[in-house]
Amino acid sequence: MDFELNETQLAVVDGINKICADFPDSYWLEKDNKHEFPHDFAQAVCDGGYFGIMMPEEYGGAGLGYTEAALMMQAIAESGACMAGCTSIHVNIFMPGAIRKHASPEQKERWISRLMTLQDRAAFCVTEPGAGIDTTHITTRAEWNAERQRYLISGQKVWISVAQQANKIMVLARTTPLEKTSRPADGLSLFYTDLDRDYVDVQLIDKMGRHAVDSNAVFFDGLPVRKEDLIGEEGRGLEYLFSSLNAERILAAAECVGMGRAALRRASDYARERVVFDRPIGKNQAIQHPLAANWCQLEAANLMMLKAAWLYDNGKSCGVEANAAKWLAAEAGFDACQQAIMTHGGMGYAKEYHVERYLRELQILRIGPIPPPLMLSFIAERQLGMPKSY
């Protein structure tokens, strides 16, 4: 068993760390305060060639695996960029997973290099207010209009990241009504198309954190979509999405560990420097022990994340491990951020010490892309043999 990162993996982390060094905590605090999208950061990562980390070499990508991609996102989160940094580039890098696996060669030719070079910026539109995590019950529909030779998409999505910036969307919509399918998961189709604001209204959601990257309610009113923009076969969209869910959980786990480590680094620095009762607060075991426990939890979660990534990259089943990694990492990261605030005392509540921002951003990955009860239900069912509970 080899726990060392290989040369390529070390080079990815090193290269990303060098880029992130130009975007310190003060940059992210300012972006958060001003609600400004971090365009220069996204451009720097793109210019470094990292948008193609997992794209096939024939399309100009590096052809690496999810292990390398997860290490890259972890390094970004760990730099203090947190979810603002990660989600400013997420969709362009990872959404093509569905494109890479299920799009036609003509579509790949049309789409991949524009995403990798940031000529296109994409938003990922799945969640709906009426369906929640039960994606089979989405009601956004795409109806084929024979006269116009277009699908017309109508409906509503919610919580869609970067839709203020995007000119492209990947959208899941019903092409066959639920009552006419033999299984609820059938009859949903996946499209990658232009975000034409004549037919799509994007409304900003005021939220708790990650103010640098917008979240939106998105309303579709007959968006016309060419057949050429349907990914794979009509009716199999959910199957295509589900095929990348484990990868999404692995990335989320890596990012949670990164944010937790950033919080722990700040907490340990503060504990060494802050003197109260004539001694550094870090000399007290009541300060040391919770932080040491945070470290243990984060590193254990990281090992599970790396195991899940290794299984995924080697074509092995990894559903249980990917869910376990995401659950462990989100809880460990949250605990570390919370403990970092407590270690700072009153200063933990001040924005200039950054740990409150880390906590606000980590909370996103406790909620999504899948919340804790559903991951635990999955593990109970698949690993422990209990009946399906949802």
Ligand X SMILES: Cc1cc2nc3c(=O)[nH]c(=O)nc-3n(C[C@H](O)[C@H](O)[C@H](O)COP(=O)(O)OP(=O)(O)OC[C@H]3O[C@@H](n4cnc5c(N)ncnc54)[C@H](O)[C@@H]3O)c2cc1C
The correct pick among 60, 235, 345, 371 for binding ligand X (CB under 6 A) is 371
Cβ-based neighbours of 69, under 8 Å, separated by 6 or more? 53, 54, 93, 94, 251
Name the residue number minimizing CB distance to ligand X.
Answer: 132
390 binds ligand X (CB under 6 A): yes
215 binds ligand X (CB under 6 A): yes
Site string for ligand X, 328-367 (x = CB under 6 A): ------------------------------------x--x
- Integer Cα distance of 205 and 127 in angstroms: 14
The helix (run of H) or strand (run of E) holding residue 144 is strand 141-145
Cβ-based neighbours of 227, under 8 Å, separated by 6 or more? 149, 150, 151
Cβ-based nearer residue to ligand X, 258 or 282: 258
The correct pick among 133, 276, 342, 386 for binding ligand X (CB under 6 A) is 133
318 binds ligand X (CB under 6 A): no
Helix axes 319-343, 245-273, angle to 10 degrees: 20
Shortest distance, position 382 Cβ to ligand X, whole Å: 16
Residue type at position 82: C
Q: What are the structure tokens assigned to 146, written together? A: 């024979």
Count CB neighbours of 289 within 10 A: 10
Cβ-based nearer residue to ligand X, 103 or 252: 252
The correct pick among 233, 373, 383, 386 for binding ligand X (CB under 6 A) is 373
Shortest distance, position 305 Cβ to ligand X, whole Å: 19
Q: 286: helix, coil or strand? A: helix
Q: 191: helix, coil or strand? A: strand
Shortest distance, position 319 Cβ to ligand X, whole Å: 17
Cβ-based nearer residue to ligand X, 73 or 271: 73
The correct pick among 79, 127, 189, 246 for binding ligand X (CB under 6 A) is 127
Task: Name the residue among 209, 261, 230 with its Cα closest to residue 83.
Answer: 209
The correct pick among 88, 161, 268, 338 for binding ligand X (CB under 6 A) is 161
Shortest distance, position 345 Cβ to ligand X, whole Å: 28
Cβ-based nearer residue to ligand X, 150 or 249: 249
388 binds ligand X (CB under 6 A): no
- Integer Cα distance of 78 and 358 in angstroms: 10
Place of tokens 């605090």: 29
- Binding residue count for ligand X, defined by CB under 6 A: 20
Q: What are the structure tokens assigned to 188, written together? A: 């949903």
212 binds ligand X (CB under 6 A): no
41 binds ligand X (CB under 6 A): no
Q: Which stretch binds ligand X (CB under 6 A): 8-16, 55-63, 154-162, 235-243?
A: 154-162
DSSP 151-205: EEEEEEEEEEETTTT-SEEEEEEESS-GGGSSSTTSSEEEEEEE--TTTEEEEEP
Shortest distance, position 368 Cβ to ligand X, whole Å: 3
| Alpha helices in 274-318, H assignment, sequence order | 285-313
Cβ-based neighbours of 79, under 8 Å, separated by 6 or more? 17, 20, 21, 23, 85, 258, 262
Q: Which stretch binds ligand X (CB under 6 A): 34-42, 61-69, 118-126, 223-231?
A: 118-126
Q: Are 189 and 166 in contact, with CB atoms under 8 Å apart?
A: no
Cβ-based nearer residue to ligand X, 160 or 287: 160
Q: Which residues contribute to the site for ligand X (CB under 6 A)?
A: 124-127, 132-133, 159-161, 210, 215, 364, 367-371, 373-374, 390
